[in-house]
């Protein structure tokens, strides 16, 4: 590497880099830009299956169907997570669709401040496990305002071995 360091008059250090070194430096910056860090990197080892997140890893060789995910109760009740909601879905739409399975204690629907539309998900809380379980079983994959919704448990205990 051809780097020359000179003591300048102002006490600072000057250095000159050869053309080959500059090309290597550019290549190193390109390698860093395409490395596995930062935004835009997609890790193929991470699961994209519904209901399986980074904290719900399956052991090597296990299939998705063999995962034993048990729902967990929150402090006040059983909470389900509704995903893939149409942007114009209202609280009334969700209440109408989900109160058929039991009394809804709480409903949380986030709204984007900038656009005024919802963010695409909601949390619904039921008093009993039976009500929440029936809502998950019957509403998962159903159509609501033109969108096929996904309904899962908001809290789970983790994977259980059979």
pLDDT tens digit sequence for 65-75: 335 568 888 88
Q: What is the pLDDT of residue 5?
A: 56
Q: Hey, where are the domains in the chain?
A: 3-33, 68-159
Successive 10-residue mean pLDDT values, the chain, 162 residues:
55 60 70 57 50 47 49 88 95 95 94 92 95 95 95 82 55
Which pair of tokens denotes residue 70?
């048990």
pLDDT tens track for 43-66: 555 444 455 544 444 444 343 333
User: Tell me: domain 68-159, CATH 3.40.50.300, correct?
Assistant: no
Q: What is the pLDDT of residue 95?
A: 95
Q: What is the pLDDT of residue 27?
A: 72
User: Is the CB of residue 142 less than 8 Å from the CB of residue 89?
Assistant: no
Q: What is the pLDDT of residue 85?
A: 96
Q: What is the pLDDT of residue 160?
A: 56
| Exposure class string for 114-125: b at 16+ Cβ within 10 A, else e | eeeebebbbbbb
Rounded Cα distance between 158 and 37, Å, is: 28
Which pair of tokens denotes residue 53?
């997140």
């Amino acid at each position: 590497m051809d780097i020359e360091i000179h003591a300048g008059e102002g006490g600072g250090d000057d250095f000159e880099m050869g053309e080959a070194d500059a090309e290597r430096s550019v290549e190193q910056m390109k390698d860093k830009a395409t490395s596995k860090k930062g935004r835009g990197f997609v890790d193929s080892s991470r699961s994209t299956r519904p209901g399986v997140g980074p904290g719900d890893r399956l052991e090597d060789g296990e299939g998705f169907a063999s995962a034993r995910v048990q729902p967990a109760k929150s402090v006040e009740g059983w909470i389900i997570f509704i995903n893939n909601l149409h942007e114009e879905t209202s609280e009334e739409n969700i209440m109408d669709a989900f109160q058929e399975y039991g009394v809804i204690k709480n409903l949380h629907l986030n709204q984007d401040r900038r656009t005024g539309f919802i963010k695409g998900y909601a949390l619904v809380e039921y008093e009993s496990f039976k009500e929440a379980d029936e809502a998950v079983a019957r509403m998962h994959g159903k159509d609501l305002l033109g969108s096929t919704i996904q309904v899962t448990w908001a809290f789970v205990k983790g994977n259980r071995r059979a």
